[in-house]
Structure 1
Amino acid sequence: MATRSQSSAREELLGMLIEDHKRVKKAHRDFEKLDPESDREARTAIVERTCAELEVHAQLEEELLYPAARTKVAEDNLIDEAEVEHQSAKQLIAQIKTMNPDDPKYSASFTVLCEYVKHHVREEEGELFPQLGRSRLDWIGMLETMVSRRRELMTEMGLLDESLVADAMEDLEKNVKTPAARRSGRAAGSTGNP
């Protein structure tokens, strides 16, 4: 049975975070295309979903990625800046959540949030991820933990599409060795037969 390598786990984990970044950019483009008057409900749904997804993404990075990165990247200030940017984004999200979609600053606040996230993404993808990608982390373990934690957070936020997560978890279990399976030389779920 094929198992995931450290390099493929690294690519999958960073790819998952980059996909989160792309969803924010797409959400902002979709939001801008909609008419504030006639598409009010659709715009509100985009804002609410994007804010919730950003909260999940930020929590994953703060709990898992940034602590691991702090010990592996040469420039500690990259992590410090990322954490401050997350805090600012979370404050803006909290502000948006208290606003009524009819508030004249609702659209502007969401646009500022998306622009702020784009700036954060440029730094993260341009500086932090490349440095982290060259480090010797336990990428398989990090990926396992991040996928599991993402599922928990998405469930809490009501964002979970069970069919997609079930497929992802099944793939993860087939391809990633658990710590116990690594010690015994078998993949998770393996019966030990070739």
Structure 2
Amino acid sequence: MADKIFDRLIEDHDKHRQLLKQIAETHGDSEDRRALLETLTKELKAHAAAEEMALYSTTLRKPPTNDETRHSVAEHHEIEEMLNDLAATDMSSSAWLAKFDKLAHRYTHHIDEEEEEHFPDFGNYLTEADKAHMRKIFDEHKAEECEEAEVTPVAMADAKE
């Protein structure tokens, strides 16, 4: 497998960047916006779950990478809450657009941080065999997670209760 885990994760990140851009070009409560949000939500939830199983389960067992790993996993949870809140908001409202912009900024920051800081650091502690195995695990779990991922509208205020 020529491209290992980090190349595969970045491939997904690029797809996510494109989905965010496409959603930003939609308006109001439209079929396009609904379909793109559903695709983005399923993609992000499946990606995060598979990434945690394939990569972060290993980096948590390597003390020098614990802080970065925990940070990324916490961000996954935060982003999922933001997705749920966005799905619970009226798509034709200005609040929806403000929440989408915040989510897009937060997620872009997250993946930039992973690509520029975390992945290079993690690479120092993983063998090529580790990376190839992680790629295999990621691909298997991503497909499964995509089938199971759902849009779950839960407003932030309700999630905190």
Q: Which category of TM-score, normalised to the shorter sequence, fits these structures?
A: 0.7 to 0.9
Structure 2 unaligned regions, length at least 5? 151-161
Structure with the bigger RCO (C-alpha within 8 Å, sep 6+) is 2
Say which is worse superposed, 60-69 or 115-124, in terms of deviation. 60-69
1:125 alignment partner in structure 2: 115
Q: Report how far residue 59 of structure 1 moved.
A: 0.7
2:140 alignment partner in structure 1: 148
Judge conservation of contact 1:64–1:146 (CA < 8 Å) in 2: yes
After superposition, the C-alpha distances for 1:71-121 in whole angstroms (9 at most, x for unaligned) are 346242111211111111111111122223223322222221111011111
Write the letter of the residue equivalent to 1:113.
L
Alpha-carbon distance in structure 2 between the residues aligned to 1:123 and 1:86: 13
Q: Report how far residue 14 of structure 1 moved.
A: 1.2
Give TM-score scaled by structure 1 length.
0.68
Alpha-carbon distance in structure 2 between the residues aligned to 1:21 and 1:145: 17
SS at match of 1:101: coil
1:74 alignment partner in structure 2: 64
Pairing 1:35-74 to 2, within 5 Å after superposition: 36-37=27-28, 40-72=30-62, 74=64
SS at match of 1:76: helix
2:149 alignment partner in structure 1: 157
2:89 alignment partner in structure 1: 99
Alpha-carbon distance in structure 2 between the residues aligned to 1:18 and 1:33: 23
Write the letter of the residue equivalent to 1:33.
E
SS at match of 1:74: helix
Structure 1 unaligned regions, length at least 5? 159-194
Change (3 A) 1:90 1:157: closer
Root mean square deviation of aligned Cα: 2.1
Write the letter of the residue equivalent to 1:78.
E
Give TM-score scaled by structure 2 length.
0.80
Alpha-carbon distance in structure 1 between the residues aligned to 2:94 and 2:143: 35
Give me the identity figure in percent.
Answer: 25
Alpha-carbon distance in structure 1 between the residues aligned to 2:87 and 2:135: 30
Which among 18, 21, 24 is matched to residue 13 of structure 2? 21
Say which is worse superposed, 57-66 or 116-125, in terms of deviation. 57-66
Say which is worse superposed, 49-58 or 149-158, in terms of deviation. 149-158
Say which is worse superposed, 92-101 or 45-54, in terms of deviation. 92-101
1:32 alignment partner in structure 2: 24
